Amino acid sequence: MPTLLHRYFKMSKIQNLIENKKFSYLKPYFYQQPYAFRCELAVGESFEIRMRNAYDRALQIYHILFPDGKADALIFNHWHYDGEPDKDFSEILNCYPYKIIRNLPVYDWDTEYQLHMHRSRIICYAGKINFNYKLIIKNLLQEDFGLTNHEESFVSFGNECILSVYDDRGCDITFADVQKFRDFYPLLEPWFLDYDRKIMQERLDKLA
């Protein structure tokens, strides 16, 4: 579990959000968050070129949001149905301080199967050990497992944001601070997905 030391210091807005049970953060992140960008990753004609560009572009975006290369935390969802034992993450996460927030809102997938689905948010704090972000991004782009789950997202307490690579097609960046949303708009605009560019411009215009 995370130490209690950080409780004596003022937490960032994004840290308050990810540790709050009311913060649902379900896909599609971009459409469900008011201060969010959607960026395109896979560009090019052949599969090989698209995947190479997706990785390169994801790294460029990562380094804009995390200029020192270090994320403060990773968050991901753990899902299980009624009757399935909840997972013990202590062995997997023993390198990192972590926190588990249970009984979060879920999608409506359970209605078809007459089963109740449960969701927990796992927060891994970097502490003194950096995350292998290059490997995690590579695995996310390949829809493979990273640290523990395909829904991993990187968190910056200083820049008040969450970076979520949903697959090779693109990534969403969610901000908890309006000024940070403004500041990063021109920095991330070259990677914006054209399909959603109008929505992002409208979000910025409303803040003018």
Structure-token pair, residue 182: 């403004």
Q: Provide the whole-model pTM.
A: 0.88
pLDDT at 9: 54
The pLDDT score that the predictor gives to residue 139 is 86
Between the alpha carbon of residue 144 and those of residues 49, 68, 134, 161, 168, the distances in Å are 19, 26, 13, 24, 11
Question: Tokens for 138?
Answer: 């590579």
Q: What is the pLDDT of residue 98?
A: 87
Cα–Cα distance measured from residue 201 to residue 187, given in angstroms and rounded to the nearest whole number: 14
Residue owning tokens 């972000």:
133
Which residue positions in the chain have pLDDT lower than 70? Answer: 1-9, 83, 85-92, 108-115, 143-150
Show the tokens assigned to 194: 């054209």
Identify the pLDDT of residue 79.
Answer: 82
Give the per-residue pLDDT at 60.
97
Instruction: Locate 49 and state its tokens.
Output: 């070129």
pLDDT (0 to 100) of residue 91: 62
